[in-house]
Structure 1
Amino acid sequence: MSTEPSRTATMVLAALAGSAENALFAAQVRAAAGLDNTRFETTLADLEKQGRIVVTHHSAPDRHLAGDWRTVGLVHTGASPARAAEAARRYFDRWLRQFLQHHRCT
């Protein structure tokens, strides 16, 4: 495994770096990078092994919602992966608060 980021890794890292919190839902990263699911999952796994990103897993906030609830946080050079994990958790929590404020099950 090379330490030089691949083109796909560069696209994933750029998507995260371009977000206000350096964290996004995995689906948002995938869409921003324009990758098919297989390449995206491989790239995520590689970047996580390299310590460049942290992927956090969350449960669906509502039983009617199916989907990929993972968030991805960018690990800055020299920073602790725990900071990226916290950014990813904060991103999900902020989204969840907004969702719960407006969502009503019928």
Structure 2
Amino acid sequence: MELLLAEHSLDEGCALQWQRCVDSAAAAFAAMPRERWLEVAYEDFVRAPEAEVGRVLAFLGIEASALQRREAATPHGPWPLRLCRGQIRTNRMPRWSWVGGVVRNSPR
């Protein structure tokens, strides 16, 4: 970072560092099978939160009713807590883990 700041302003250095992180993540995901990860665009989530929540839950193999998806997408509280309180059947949910900066599906 010091070398970066010697040649760029702080704003430029931070932007360049962010871009390097994005590029590294893209390379890591490109090396993984497509069915192992899901890309969620911020713009899509803001434009259609209920649809995106449904897409994420479907990817994770979690069944949810339209009402549950709508409630999960409502910005009035910490929706992951509502999902974890037994409102959605978790007996079919795969085990997920954070490994080396990547969320991975682990067999049960």
Instruction: Tell me which interval the TM-score lies in, with the shorter structure as reference length.
Output: under 0.3
Specify the structure having the higher radius of gyration (Cα).
2
TM-score, normalising length from structure 1?
Answer: 0.25
Task: Give 1 or 2: higher helix fraction.
Answer: 2
- With normalisation by structure 2, the TM-score equals 0.25
Report which structure shows greater RCO (CA 8 Å, sep ≥6). 1
